[in-house]
A and B are shown apart, each in its own frame.
Chain A
Amino acid sequence: MHGVKRVQYSQAALEAKKQRDHDKLKAYLALSDDVIARKSHDMSNEAFELTTRLLRMNPEFYTVWNYRRDMFIESLFPQRSPSEVNELLSDDLSLTFELLKQHPKVYGIWNHRRWCLEHIPDGPSPDDVNGYRNSTWNKELFVVEKMLDADARNFHAWNYRRYILATMPFPPPPKSELAYTTRKIEANFSNFSAWHQRSKVLTTLWETGELDRVKSIEEEFELVRNAMYTDPDDQSVWIYHAWLIGNGNYAARLQFEITSIQELLDEQPDSKWCMESLVRYKRLLIEKHAENLGDKKALVDSCLELLAKLRDIDPPRRRRYDEIAEGIRSGNEMQ
């Protein structure tokens, strides 16, 4: 269990709570025993309603979700028209949406939602076999947007979003998803989940050639610079920036970013992330562009000085900084 506070109860309050819990438990166990006793053979509407009640009490009880799906397949669907099947599934989509609002991180609820989407029947007519599907899948983006508005870091919701985009009959174009990540990032630069999604969407757009990689990365550096200056303490931006730099093959870009980050460090002299990034990019200059460097020793000394400062301002990670410094010194000596 996460985030459940220990509470001190008075004797009277404790007794009252015990009685409430006891009644709740009795009801729960009676229902649970009843449902479990039925699951091997009872596919009736009555049993179906019992699973609804039980799942409202305990949506993590995956065996009961399994039983519910078995009932759909073995008895509820075979008796009904496509329109009725579609309605049953719509009802379960409503049920799961309601449960997700109270239990946004329960795997079983998200799983059942996917199952429902994947079992939408052909219809409403022989001329329009995808009508039910299109209409339902199109609504899913709204559903997942609501969930992400409530908690922008909910990875269940993000994974579900990616699943919808990958599976829906007529998905919006990747550029539209890029715009979604821009909105999320501009709402909150610390939204690592949005930066992560952006890294995936951009990679796709570069691979398909829809966006020119070089030009796109230049624009990304601008976006990141804005975020850096707004919130220099947020690690999301710096980790994303390191990804943009990549293997550091472009010396001019490295130099430009180093200058820019140094300016920020001048304004924020205790910024760990500025220092960490300067070390990273100066090391790349030393490793990849040594032949073009004017004063290599100055770069090396600068790294060692920054690493010494990092040891002081970020003591938990001092061993890492020491190892990097050792690496720079020995690499330097080898040349």
Chain B
Amino acid sequence: MTSSSQLLIPLHVRYIQSLGENKDDLTYHLTAHLRMNAVYWGLTALCIMDHKDALSKDETIEYVMSCWVDEAGAFGPHPDHDPHLLPTLSAIQILVIHDALDRIDVPRVTKFILSLQQPSGVFAGDQFGEIDTRFLYSAVNALSLLDQLHQLDVEKTVSYIKQCKNFDGGFGAVIGAESHAAQVWVCTAALAILDRLDVIDQDTLAWWLAERQLPNGGLNGRPQKLEDVCYSFWVLSSLSVLRKVSWIDADKLTSFILSAQDTENGGIADRPGDLPDVFHTIFGVAGLSLLGYPGLVDIDPVYCMPANLIESKGLRKGWEALPRKAS
């Protein structure tokens, strides 16, 4: 095993390219319900590593469109799977990255998204009614990418997030739920898109987020939990929106992420020694990008998409990442 003090970009690019190839992998088939998300994670990771063309644009778009469920006006995660807000967002993000938004029936998708808002302001994921601030964020993000944010009842949406605020400054999945870094990110990012960061107790929340860093340099998602590479994104991007990325130790976090690489087969795992997957690969790479790791492309922490793309659509908000190191 070689030393992992560097991000092994060519290896991770090959890892992402290989993801769809091993049709004998049981895990691959057991996660079909996440496939659209996985395609978005892999594509975004490639963009940040400046290898956007490593996967075929046409095949990707074809896959996305094969998941369109016409009667719903939305996307599922895989052909013949039921439509849902999460794969719908990922589909939109993929098409935006490939400049193929014209493939979408925008009014119908907008209708689907808006139909999922509940009287309380939160969004359900589908007609079966599970509610979660993750879905609220997905709706706000998707509507903004579709340039349909003006159709959203912003007051109602913001008021739900306000009610999710906890004693520690953080946010949970629903009203009353414990603060969790991933839920903090979705609420913070949604508020950023809606220009309502005033809702946040910024000092308290930035403090809670800074305390996620553990002695080994990794970040956890809640007090007393284990470090995990994916929190390199959830925590870091939240801090980035609050302009407090400097409140954690960048060098220690960088070392932690790099140590979670699979130096033989590529990909990044949740922590050193574990099996890699595309989820932890994107969030490890995204975290490194926010930390200014040399050779990476800027990522927008609000959208988790390439920053220049978001900026070109006029959607960039006031976040701050660490400056890109020269080498």
Contacts and interface: CB of A to CB of B under 8 A. Distances in A.
A235 B207 CA distance: 12
Interface residues of A, number: 49
A310 B281 CA distance: 34
B145 interface: no
Given A6-B274, A63-B82, A153-B222, A239 B168 contact: yes
Contacts of B178: 155, 158, 192-193, 196-197
Interface in B126-157: 126, 128, 130
Classify the interface of chain B: helix, strand, loop or mixed. Answer: loop
Interface in B40-68: none
A169 B223 CA distance: 34
Contacts of A4: 274-275
A315 B179 CA distance: 25
Given A22-B24, A63-B82, A196-B178, A32 B29 contact: yes
B262 A317 contact: no
Interface residues of B, number: 54
B12 interface: no
A22 B208 CA distance: 46
Interface in A35-69: 36, 39, 58, 60-63, 66, 69
Contact of A5 (B167, B173, B244, B274): B274
Contacts, number: 124
A167 B245 CA distance: 41
Classify the interface of chain A: helix, strand, loop or mixed. Answer: helix
Given A115-B128, A155-B173, A63 B81 contact: yes
A176 interface: no
Contacts of B277: 1
Contacts of A66: 82, 126, 128
A315 B25 CA distance: 44
Given A24-B26, A199-B167, A317-B248, A2 B228 contact: yes
Contacts of B249: 315-317
Interface in B9-52: 24-27, 29-33
A196 B228 CA distance: 22
Interface in B167-197: 167-168, 172-174, 176-180
Interface string B204-248: 001110110100010000111100100000000000000010111
Given A5-B275, A192-B223, A155 B30 contact: no
Contacts of A36: 80
Interface string A295-335: 00000000000000000000111011000000000000000
B273 to A, nearest CB: 6
Contacts of B279: 1
Contacts of A5: 273-275
Contacts of A107: 130
B29 A25 contact: yes
Contact of A25 (B24, B167, B177, B224): B24
Interface string A215-259: 000000000000000000011100110010000000000000000
Nearest to A58: B30
A61 B223 contact: no
Interface in A186-228: 190, 192-193, 196-197, 199-200
5 contacts: A21-B25, A21-B26, A155-B177, A159-B177, A239-B167
Interface of A: 1-6, 18, 21-22, 24-25, 28-29, 32, 36, 39, 58, 60-63, 66, 69, 107, 111, 115, 153, 155, 158-159, 162, 190, 192-193, 196-197, 199-200, 234-236, 239-240, 243, 315-317, 319-320
5 tightest CB-CB pairs across the interface, nearest first? A316-B249, A243-B167, A319-B246, A199-B167, A192-B223
